[in-house]
Structure 1
Amino acid sequence: MKTDDLIAALSRDATLTEAPASRRIALALVVSAVIAFALLMLVVKPRSDLAEAATTMLFDLKMVYVATLVVGAVALLRAAARPEGVLSPVLLLVPAALMLFGLGHELATQAPAAYGTRLVGRNWALCLVAIPFMAAAPLAAILAAMRAGAPADPTRAGAIAGFAAGAIAAVFYGLHCVDDSPLFVATWYTVAIGVMAAAGAAIGRRVLAW
């Protein structure tokens, strides 16, 4: 076989592999959202003042922030699933900018004596438990889908899978959480999602290796 023919054959194989992997990841993301929503409705429960909270800036900022985290995580996930995928941190600039805006607003409008109270909130411990709880099954679904691809770095791909699962869970947990302070969200949501990223890295190192 000539070199050009070999390259063409490998290119066709890569294309055929990429399409099923992309479909499986898309399906896994849908399943993840359904699972997280079901856990919200059946176990965690939406906050009682959700309709009223939705009219406040801090709640809206929190929800937009975690939603943009999901968008960035999904884009990174799709790139990480392919051996030639290029990861770009630019994808996370929007949520970073939103959080910086929120933190600036918080520090400018709240008395320094209130910073500690708003940082700790009312349910920091629940946040650290609920987000990983709601993200566990989504992480399993995403990792299973990524096995159809060929991640160049299984540990990194697993970490991104955990990040995506944690971000998806955070969106739905945010509908329960009564702590809307950017200080709270930047701290405890980040820690909870980071726990899932670490778990994903540890598991991905084993299950995504090829």
Structure 2
Amino acid sequence: MKTSDLISALVQDPVPAPRLGRVLLAGLAGGVLLAALTFALALRPRPDLGEALEQLRVLAKFALGLGLATAATGLLGRLARPGVPGGGWRWSFLLPGLCVLVAVAAELVAVPPGAWEARLFGKNAAVCAPLILLISAGPLLCLLAALRHGAPTRPGLAGAVAGVAAGGIAATLYALHCPDDSPLFVAAWYSLAIGADALAGFLIGRRWLRW
């Protein structure tokens, strides 16, 4: 069977779509559970978490992680099926990024330039990205395994988006622990970790998800 014929058959067949949706949901749930377990074993919530959640700049950390995880998961449901356009999910990544950019701009205006470097590196710059990558390992593997039940025509892109979803989940959990609340810190180190997850997902996905 030609590839074009296979794609047409998959698109026209109404049966696999609901099953694939359930598989992706199961992969997401399993990934979140593994991430939560990793977080519980390696870290603990910051002692002032309740007070911190009243600050807008702290909420920006969760907006980045949750926003990217939601956008990437929604797009994965489209990429896993051949011939299905990304739709509005392709643009949903802009919102969490915009939230962080606004927070960074506000901080640059409010904080003297002499304090920018201290805000950028904080106290945990050396461990932030590695810990997010550690927490994201489980979600990334679960999502990639779920994608193998689909038929992504762009396996590298699908893997990269799975990496963003895993990184967003991990960043959200890590934010419960991280005492560095500066938007400059978040924009630099959280984004670095999520970008590394996307790269890992791309490299794995273009081989493991090929069909």
Give the structure-1-normalised TM-score: 0.91
Structure 1 position 172, deviation (Å): 0.3
Root-mean-square deviation (Å): 1.8
Query: Does the 8 A contact of 1:155 with 1:202 survive in 2?
Result: yes
1:104 aligns with 2:105: yes
Residue 112 of structure 1, CA deviation:
0.6
- Which consecutive unaligned segments of at least 5 residues does structure 1 have? 1-5
Looking at structure 1, the residues matched to 109 and 92 of structure 2 have their Cα atoms a distance apart, in angstroms, of: 28
Residue deviations 1:45-97 (CA, integer Å, cap 9, x gap) = 11121112112221112112221111111111111111123235311121122
Q: 1:139 to 1:11 in 2, by over 3 A?
A: closer
Counterpart of 1:3 in structure 2 is none
Partners of 1:119 and 1:140 in 2: CA distance: 31
Query: Between the two proteins, what is the percent identity of the paired residues?
Result: 39
1:162 alignment partner in structure 2: 163
Partner of residue 173, structure 1: 174
Provide runs of 4+ in structure 1 moved above 4 Å. none
Once the two structures are superposed, residues 157-194 of structure 1 have per-residue CA deviations (whole angstroms, 9 ceiling, x without a partner) of: 11111111111111101101111111111111111011
Question: Quick one: distance in 2 between partners of 1:73 and 1:12?
Answer: 22
Contact 1:135–1:166, Cα closer than 8 Å, also in 2: yes
Q: Following the alignment from structure 2 to structure 1, what is the Cα–Cα distance between the partners of residues 10 and 69? A: 30
1:19 correspondence with 2:18: yes
- Matched residue pairs, number? 204
**C-alpha distance in 2, partners of 1:64/1:95?**
6
The alignment's TM-score, normalised by the length of structure 2, stands at 0.91
Q: Does 1:143 align with 2:144?
A: yes
**Are residues 1:67 and 2:90 paired?**
no
Partner Cα separation in structure 1 for residue 152 and residue 108 of structure 2 = 41
Contact 2:60 2:103 in 1 (8 A): yes
Deviation of 1:17 (Å) = 1.9
Residue number in structure 2 paired with 1:85: 84
Q: Structure 2: any 5+ residue segments left out of the alignment?
A: none
